[in-house]
Structure 1
Amino acid sequence: MTVDPASRSVRGLTVLITGAASGMGRATAELFAAEGANVAATDLAEPAVRELADGLQAKGLTAEAWGLDVADAAAIVTVTDAVAARFGGIDVLINNAGISAFAPIDSQGYEAVWDRALAVLLTAHQRLVRAALPHLRRSASPRIINIASTEALGATARDSAYAAAKAGVTGLTRALAVELGREGITVNCICPGPILTGMTAAIPDADRATFARRRTALGRYGRPEEVAHMTLSLALPAASYITGAVIPVDGGLMARNA
């Protein structure tokens, strides 16, 4: 496929998205499909991600679904190769799959939380990059976009496992940007702040409102679609000189001192 390097369209590009069944991943899949991309939606929740793909197909958009546990190294290779075979390659990898991983450092179950956090939130990212790399190298507009968190930039009590994994994602992003840059493969990272997703749904409305008013410049939680649009921007062929960036999408959370 020939791609205009100045293009501001992802039409015809193949995008592999992990954690696509809900939240930011779902919004990202819907946006890329609406923009004409071939969407490979993956998630541990296979029925939900298949429902997403079926809904997109019903609208005349191009999407396929795969069940994927990103903690399963063998499954990553199998699914990545299946995506490339189905669509003739991979142009954009979006490492979005995530879990909540909060535990006090001295709690009995901390080691298990730590191991799971690193497996899903960090190790899976490098495994997906390694699996997708042969396909990305054949793309005319290769992009890797990792989803981290503002918890990588400033932590919360009892989230050391989560924060460490997310900080690892920012380090991995910068290192791979340097390593892969001469091949024209860009690697960037988005750090969402407080976003209205399944992970934050359990927080009482009043507590969310108080936090947003006190901590963010915009005074509100973000919507998954607002993160998805930043992801789309980094995936554009025209975004070819942006790499190694760590970009907060946080309503001004990290900019605010008090």
Structure 2
Amino acid sequence: MAEFRKLSRSVNELTVLVTGAASGMGRATAMVFAAEGANVAVTDITAAGAKAVVAEIVADGGIAKAWSLDVANRDDINAVIADIAADFGGLDIVINNAGISVRVAIDDEGYDEAWSKGLAVMLTAHQRTIRAALPHLRRSKCPRIVNIASTEALGATALHSPYSAAKAGVVGLTRSLAVELGRDGITVNCICPGPITTGMTARIADEHKAIYAKRRTALGRYGCPEEVAHMTLSLCLPAASFLTGAVIAVDGGLMARNA
């Protein structure tokens, strides 16, 4: 009988980069990783927001540092990732979480601008971040990439075509890079959150959220950012070394429900 292998479920002392970490799922992800002993690079276009999350983490006894990062700017990505790796002595985990809300009709005059901005922030930024981090990930003993997409990549909503296209692109990018980077031992996985209570959904009235959740999800409710963050953590554990190219819906059963 083969000897039982004890695989580590600890990210203690690993260094993780989280984009869009000043609020919502990004903030929850940063705090969950910090609580598990990781060194967290909290990045966001809003410097004050990133610093506030770091202050929360440090107050709880965690290790984190803040960087201002505009993921739509290639030079900014390259400079910040180099600085993070130098500061923490390496980089093990990349969480591409930064996103924006894009709602526009196909025949709107501002469609081209919305399309360009949506893809720049939610798709192009992902590949640029990965490319900048790749030399460091190849030196890591536990290299992990998690791309945050959306259930909008799996089933679309009207007036969200730039958003849906970007998120569907993230799914394709994830699968392709999982195949390409597997030889380096780098796992690449994707999470598709469903209806989550974040800043992006704050404009929706609570009564409308309740109606939608009861009608569309198996669990009958919106999820919280921490529920997504813990799935992200699970994909980054050393023990998750044989899981790559996966696209996981964290959606309360939204995509499973037929009616």
Shift in Å, 1:51: 1.2
CA RMSD of aligned residues (A): 0.9
Describe how 1:54-69 pairs up with structure 2 within 5 A: 54-69=55-70
Which residue number in structure 1 is paired with residue 156 of structure 2? 155
Which residue number in structure 2 is paired with residue 90 of structure 1? 91
Are the structure 2 counterparts of residues 199 and 5 from structure 1 closer, same or farther at C-alpha, using a change threshold of 3 Å? Answer: farther
Q: Confirm whether residue 143 of structure 1 aligns to residue 144 of structure 2.
A: yes
Describe how 1:90-109 pairs up with structure 2 within 5 A: 90-109=91-110
Shift in Å, 1:61: 1.0
**4+ aligned runs moved over 4 Å, structure 1:** none
Which residue number in structure 1 is paired with residue 73 of structure 2? 72
Distance 2:49 2:76 in 1: 18
- Which SS does the other structure have where 1:170 is aligned? helix
Q: Confirm whether residue 41 of structure 1 aligns to residue 62 of structure 2.
A: no
Which residue number in structure 2 is paired with residue 32 of structure 1? 33
Describe how 1:202-213 pairs up with structure 2 within 5 A: 202-213=203-214
Distance 1:174 1:18 in 2: 20
Q: Structure 2: which 5+ runs fail to align?
A: none
Shift in Å, 1:5: 8.0
Which residue number in structure 2 is paired with residue 111 of structure 1? 112
Which residue number in structure 2 is paired with residue 248 of structure 1? 249
Which residue number in structure 2 is paired with residue 228 of structure 1? 229
Distance 2:62 2:230 in 1: 18
Q: Confirm whether residue 200 of structure 1 aligns to residue 201 of structure 2.
A: yes
Amino acid in the other structure paired with 1:42 = T
Which residue number in structure 2 is paired with residue 81 of structure 1? 82
Distance 2:202 2:61 in 1: 31
How big is each residue's C-alpha offset from its partner over 1:220-250, in whole Å with a ceiling of 9 and x where there is no partner? Answer: 0000000000000000000000000000000
How big is each residue's C-alpha offset from its partner over 1:166-199, in whole Å with a ceiling of 9 and x where there is no partner? Answer: 0000000000000000110000000000000000
Shift in Å, 1:59: 2.4
Distance 1:74 1:113 in 2: 22
Which residue number in structure 1 is paired with residue 127 of structure 2? 126
- Percent of aligned positions with the same letter in both sequences? 68
- Which SS does the other structure have where 2:192 is aligned? strand
TM-score between the two structures when normalised by the length of structure 2? 0.97
TM-score between the two structures when normalised by the length of structure 1? 0.98
Between Structure 1 and Structure 2, how many residues are aligned? 255
Distance 1:6 1:144 in 2: 19
